[in-house]
Amino acid sequence: MAAGTSFLRQCIATTTRTLVTAKSKHSSYHFSTFLLPLRTHSRRLTIRAGITNNEEVAAKAAASDADSGAPTIFDKIISKEIPSNIVYEDDKVLAFRDINPQAPVHVLIIPKLRDGLTELGKAEARHGEILGQLLYAAKIVAEKEGIVEGFRVVINSGASACQSVYHLHLHVLGGRQMKWPPG
């Protein structure tokens, strides 16, 4: 992913956030911007300038496109159009570092084929195999990152859970003592 896109910022505001729009994929994103799901390359990108951190608002805004089936930033990461720091990859899943980490290790795991899995709440019985592969990949990632002795997996489904990209993704966090409740 581009060094400037912080599309993974999620939930709970501490300050306010400013909305900015840019016209093309060639825009030079500010380091702490938040990228909403893209409909197409040619459409205007809605970018949230990271002056602040109102992640609830960001998730709610992203939810407006949740059922559109539109491509998201993850499609560009899968296609390598946007570079990312890949931790693990096989034919079914891709794992890469969250560029707005909430722990010393913070990796996202996504299915390469979204196949209707915009969110976990849209899962169907036929998705069982890929869901298992994603969760097993979390263990592989934890091993690779040296945190298999202690890590947390989080899946946000929907705006009230702070989902901000509508392509199912698992957060794998570790490298520090995690707290309770989990957000």
Positions that interact with a second copy (CB under 8 A): 9-12, 55-56, 102-103, 120-123, 125, 127-136, 138-139, 142-143, 148-162, 171, 173-174, 176-183
Sequence-distant (≥ 6) Cβ neighbours of residue 177 within 8 angstroms: none
List the catalytic residues: 169
> Which of residues 24 and 64 has its CB atom nearest to a second copy in the complex?
64
Residue 150: CB minimum distance to a second copy, A: 3
Phi, psi of 130 (to 5 degrees): -70, -35
> Which of residues 76 and 171 has its CB atom nearest to a second copy in the complex?
171
Residue 40: CB minimum distance to a second copy, A: 27
> Which of residues 31 and 136 has its CB atom nearest to a second copy in the complex?
136
Contact between 153 and 170 (Cβ < 8 Å):
yes
Q: Dmax over Cα atoms in the chain, in whole Å?
A: 45
> Which of residues 72 and 156 has its CB atom nearest to a second copy in the complex?
156
Q: Which residue has tokens 């602040």? A: 52
DSSP 5: B
Residue 140: CB minimum distance to a second copy, A: 9
Nearest to 66 by CA among 37, 94, 93, 91: 37
1: its two tokens: 């992913």
Residue 148: CB minimum distance to a second copy, A: 5
